[in-house]
Structure 1
Amino acid sequence: MSKISVLVPAYNTGLYIEKCIESIQNQTYTNIDIIVVDDGSTDGTVEIACHYAESDARIKVISTIHKGVAEARNECLRNATGDYILFVDSDDWIAPSLCENLYHEAKRTSADIVFSAMISVSSDGTEVLFGDRSIAFQDTELLTGPDCFIRMVDAGCAYPMVAGNLYRKSLFEKNDIVFKGEYHEDEYSFPFLLKNAEKVCSIAEPQYYYRQRPKSIMNCDSNFKERAVALGEIASQFEKDLLTCDASLIHRRFVSGVSRHTSIIKKKARALYDTYIANSDRPLVLLLTEKSISSNYGIGTYLRYIAESSTDSPWDCLQIELNAYDKSEQEFSVKDGVPCYTFPARRVVYSYEKDDCIKKYQYCVFSYLASRLGNSRKLICHVNAYGYDYIAFLFKTRFEARIIFTVHYMDWAFRLNGNRDQLEHILKAPAITPEETLIKEAFTKERLFFNDCCDYVIAIAKHSYDTLHQLYNIPREKLLLIYNSTPNSPNISLSKVSLRDKYGFAQTDKIVIFAGRIDWGKGIFELVQAFKQVAVNNADLKLIIAGDGAYSSLYTHIKPMWSRILLTGYVDKETLFELYSLSDLGIVPSLHEEFGYVAVEMASVGLPVVVNPKGGLKEIAHKISSVTILNHDELNHDEECDLIDSISKALTTFSTSLCKEYHHKSSVIMSNDLEITYVYHNLFH
């Protein structure tokens, strides 16, 4: 007979663990061992378990510091010696024949997983059938894991509880399946187990007794926020690790099932968080932003910084992502540990409806949020995108919210490549062209919003601060200069040599890297043109373009040097920093940057950087010694040609000698005299 390891994670269940252990001891199937992992209990749980272990050699008790149920389950797995495993939670109990019935079915079918239903027992003794998955097995007794998962999702019985089911231990070992998170740890592991199970079956008779107690981790009102965040992060993990298709039909169907299951999890998370914010009296920061490609770059980095800074704060953060064209319905997610409500875009059919539709859209979003917020809580509305002055006004009048606006960009700067002199000329003179009319109207609207609605306006660079004070007439008492934060660089463990091997580069290659959106304003097309000129005489010169955007336009510019220019698309932070670390030179040729965060990122790993001295890039070059300014000729010719010439000269100097001008390293210093969390603190008090 194969051995079954019965695994019991325990935390402060001294009132119930005796019944749990005794029910396992009394199993009719005797080839078992019992692993009790006490997760730092303080109520005598471990002492009770040890008392039973003294008289039963099958019982092993392991005492750990408190790390949560996921790590307790993992510790159980590490100590299991059986061929099969059965989890029993320490406040539950099982019928005498459960192990025997589960093992008999596993032996008969060679199943990797044998499911069983539960009997939910309330505090008054009421018993209810719970977790019945028999409907998924109505056509056949034996299913593949993916087919089983699909059927359970379709039938609405994809209960994720890991307890009460028999698993072949090798299913965990061969597929590196572990439990994660302080809450809903079984929700995370459930799809991974079924994805890798070759055979799954079920027994009809429920013999696991699931105790419902008011103060358990799943029935405590005080952890709704934490549970919502946990579920949101699990959904994100599924999207990252499971929502990929191969050629097989079963896998495509499995992915479809995971997608539907993920949607259900997000709705559960949203319901939990809705309940939390409706009943919480903690101050709340609403981080308003717009869903756009910028969300993956500078603005997204800025919001991640705020999320990290607010982790242990006495207020909550809720990100509001507006105008999401890739969504068809409102969705809950978790971004960098911060709950996020994403609202789909409202499409405008006729141009004359635009202003009215924008107002209606913002009012609908406001109404949705207002219905979930208590009337008396302190509220900050931190806006990070233009065009949402109406919703800010609604929060200010309805909730007396304090309004903060961070100037990540200025509308006129995009149109004029940051040329302030040209802006001043347009503002002083009568508008001649439709473009000038748009610039003046947008400027006037921005100035009114900043001065009439906002309590603070945050500039992320000194040149922006000066413009906001001098042209927008914002008084200094409501104008703040807070540089974008210094990045926390990932710990890159591989050497430059190893990284080049990993990504297929030769050690002799001279690698230049650009990171950011593929967009005309980023100088990427001028960079490609200059690179092509220099690369003709430098066979080892390579260019990495890390980012997404206007690919189709870029491909025609790259031709015929496709083998010398690598387009990665958008990459995660760790991959991006590995690309920085294997490169020899970073380049930021933007025609205008409000701040220039990517230059700071590059410099933070010791990569020498050259930048176009525009906007915030010029300030960064003055503050960080490893950032060098492109040398423009003092000529009165086309700016595009001037930029191409400057990049060509920089690349030529770099490629011929790797000279000291581009090879020194320094630490990154972009100090914030005033942290955003300090601003929040002052507004709340």
Structure 2
Amino acid sequence: MKTLTVFTPAYNRGYIIHKCYESLCRQTSKDFVWLVVDDGSTDNTAQLIKEWQKQDNGFEIKYIYKENGGMHTAHNTAYENIDTELNVCIDSDDYMPDDAVEKIISFWRENGSDKFAGIIALDVYESNRKTIGSELPNKKSTTLMGYYRNGGSGDKKLIYRTDVINATPMYPEFEGEKYVGLAYKYHIVDETKELLIMNEPVCIVDYQEDGSSFSMWKQYYNNPKGFAFFRKSEMKYQHGLQLFKTCIHYVSSSIISKNKNFVKESPKKLMTVLAVPFGTLLSIVNKHIITK
């Protein structure tokens, strides 16, 4: 049994996923499995993975094809098929430093226990190897939300215990939609356990123009039920201005999805009512941006 599963959701990334594969071939520790969840690709992704499976790479490659449903559904499929102690998502346009797996496993063996949900580590830019956002705090552990509430910024790499992440509900799937915020599950984990802090880079990021972060307005408009669900889950953990902003987005998504019961369904009803004028305006702006 290997210790770590590196899982990679992929959708039409045959042109770049080789960078992830090649970085795994270079790992100084091969105590991992690579799980590729193909989210309905129509390019040569399947052919590439199947060819790599035939090679003697020093690690097992698992490949699962599913109908296209969005990143969160690929994560659902991954979690259902992971049996290692730890897991980490490395996106199809990202890759790992050569010693990343070794550092993760060594750090966990030295510091890990049932008290912790896993590890939070650093992402760095491919262009200059600088940390994305701020460094992690100089202490033993933190929750993900606690890190951001205390001034943290930028994407971070999360390495979870598989039993802990699988104890949370699956991401919901809404017919005709392909987006639910991945932080939904991470926030639930935060309620019970902290993440060990490892101030080491374990993922090299090269943001692509076909990635989700570059099409957020379109995703926002095309997946209103998923966004509204995620905003409702966020309301449970927020206060003040941040809560009000979330209510505005919740109202906007509810209007786009034509949900007339959004106030009744909100966990923060008064704040939601106050946000109605602003949320209505945001829904109009969103539609204008998408249709212009």
TM-score by length of 1: 0.35
The answer to whether structure 1 residue 234 and structure 2 residue 239 are counterparts is no
Inter-partner Cα distance in structure 2 for 1:206 and 1:52? 26
Secondary structure, aligned partner of 1:103: helix
Distance apart, 1:210 and its partner CA: 1.7
Distance apart, 1:203 and its partner CA: 1.6
Inter-partner Cα distance in structure 2 for 1:371 and 1:7? 37
Which residue among 160, 164, 178 is the counterpart of 2:170?
A: 178
Which residue of 1 is the match for residue 28 of structure 2?
28
CA contact (8 A) 2:123 2:131 kept: yes
Which residue of 1 is the match for residue 270 of structure 2?
326
Which residue of 1 is the match for residue 78 of structure 2?
76
Inter-partner Cα distance in structure 2 for 1:238 and 1:177? 15
Equivalences for residues 133-532 of structure 1 within 5 A: 134-135=136-137, 138=138, 140-143=139-142, 148-149=143-144, 151-157=146-152, 164-173=157-166, 175-180=167-172, 182-197=178-193, 199-220=194-215, 222-226=218-222, 230-239=226-235, 243=236, 255=237, 258-259=238-239, 263=243, 266=246, 269=249, 303=260, 326-327=270-271, 330-331=274-275, 341=278
Which residue of 2 is the match for residue 91 of structure 1?
93
Equivalences for residues 512-661 of structure 1 within 5 A: none
Inter-partner Cα distance in structure 2 for 1:261 and 1:100? 42
Check 1:373–1:228 CA distance in 2 against 1; reply closer, same or farther (3 A cut).
Answer: closer
Secondary structure, aligned partner of 1:165: strand
CA contact (8 A) 1:153 1:261 kept: no
CA contact (8 A) 1:235 1:262 kept: no
Structure 2 counterpart of 1:266, one-letter code: T
Secondary structure, aligned partner of 2:214: coil
Distance apart, 1:21 and its partner CA: 1.3
Distance apart, 1:114 and its partner CA: 0.7
Inter-partner Cα distance in structure 2 for 1:71 and 1:58? 23
Structure 2 counterpart of 1:219, one-letter code: F
Structure 2 counterpart of 1:119, one-letter code: V
Secondary structure, aligned partner of 2:77: helix
Structure 2 counterpart of 1:237, one-letter code: S
Equivalent residue pairs, number:
274
Secondary structure, aligned partner of 1:193: helix
Which residue among 109, 118, 133 is the counterpart of 1:113?
A: 118
Structure 2 counterpart of 1:178, one-letter code: M
Aligned-residue CA RMSD in angstroms?
3.9
Secondary structure, aligned partner of 2:146: helix
Secondary structure, aligned partner of 1:218: helix
Distance apart, 1:372 and its partner CA: 8.0
**Looking at CA atoms only, which structure, 1 or 2, has the larger radius of gyration?**
1
Inter-partner Cα distance in structure 2 for 1:186 and 1:53? 29
**Percentage of identical aligned residues:** 16
Check 1:105–1:222 CA distance in 2 against 1; reply closer, same or farther (3 A cut).
Answer: same
Distance apart, 1:330 and its partner CA: 5.0
Inter-partner Cα distance in structure 1 for 2:67 and 2:269? 46
Structure 2 counterpart of 1:116, one-letter code: A
Inter-partner Cα distance in structure 2 for 1:369 and 1:6? 38
Inter-partner Cα distance in structure 2 for 1:264 and 1:205? 35
Secondary structure, aligned partner of 2:212: coil
Distance apart, 1:184 and its partner CA: 4.5
- Cα shift readout 1:54-97 (whole Å, capped 9, x = no counterpart): 11461111112222221211211222121111111111111011
Structure 1 counterpart of 2:71, one-letter code: V
CA contact (8 A) 1:117 1:131 kept: no
- Cα shift readout 1:569-588 (whole Å, capped 9, x = no counterpart): xxxxxxxxxxxxxxxxxxxx
Check 1:268–1:11 CA distance in 2 against 1; reply closer, same or farther (3 A cut).
Answer: farther
Distance apart, 1:260 and its partner CA: 6.1
Which residue of 2 is the match for residue 100 of structure 1?
102
Structure 2 counterpart of 1:171, one-letter code: V
Distance apart, 1:263 and its partner CA: 2.2
Structure 2 counterpart of 1:9, one-letter code: P
Inter-partner Cα distance in structure 2 for 1:222 and 1:171? 33
Secondary structure, aligned partner of 2:163: helix
Distance apart, 1:107 and its partner CA: 1.8
Inter-partner Cα distance in structure 1 for 2:224 and 2:144? 23
Secondary structure, aligned partner of 2:6: strand
Check 1:170–1:160 CA distance in 2 against 1; reply closer, same or farther (3 A cut).
Answer: farther
- Cα shift readout 1:402-454 (whole Å, capped 9, x = no counterpart): xxxxxxxxxxxxxxxxxxxxxxxxxxxxxxxxxxxxxxxxxxxxxxxxxxxxx
Secondary structure, aligned partner of 1:209: strand
Distance apart, 1:150 and its partner CA: 5.2
Equivalences for residues 58-73 of structure 1 within 5 A: 58-73=60-75
- Cα shift readout 1:5-58 (whole Å, capped 9, x = no counterpart): 111111110111111112123211221111111111001111111111111461
Distance apart, 1:131 and its partner CA: 4.7
Uncovered stretches (5+) of structure 1, i.e. residues with no partner: 244-254, 275-283, 288-299, 308-318, 333-339, 344-364, 378-685
Which residue of 2 is the match for residue 17 of structure 1?
17
Secondary structure, aligned partner of 1:213: coil
Structure 2 counterpart of 1:223, one-letter code: Q
Secondary structure, aligned partner of 2:14: coil
Check 1:369–1:82 CA distance in 2 against 1; reply closer, same or farther (3 A cut).
Answer: closer
Inter-partner Cα distance in structure 2 for 1:187 and 1:38? 21
Structure 1 counterpart of 2:140, one-letter code: E
Inter-partner Cα distance in structure 2 for 1:222 and 1:342? 17
Inter-partner Cα distance in structure 1 for 2:68 and 2:162? 25
Which residue of 2 is the match for residue 42 of structure 1?
42
Inter-partner Cα distance in structure 2 for 1:328 and 1:72? 31
Inter-partner Cα distance in structure 2 for 1:59 and 1:112? 25
Inter-partner Cα distance in structure 1 for 2:9 and 2:205? 14
Structure 1 counterpart of 2:98, one-letter code: P
Check 1:260–1:60 CA distance in 2 against 1; reply closer, same or farther (3 A cut).
Answer: farther
Structure 2 counterpart of 1:204, one-letter code: N
CA contact (8 A) 2:168 2:189 kept: no
Inter-partner Cα distance in structure 1 for 2:96 and 2:234? 32
Check 1:260–1:205 CA distance in 2 against 1; reply closer, same or farther (3 A cut).
Answer: farther
Inter-partner Cα distance in structure 1 for 2:133 and 2:31? 27
Which residue of 2 is the match for residue 401 of structure 1?
none
CA contact (8 A) 1:13 1:45 kept: yes
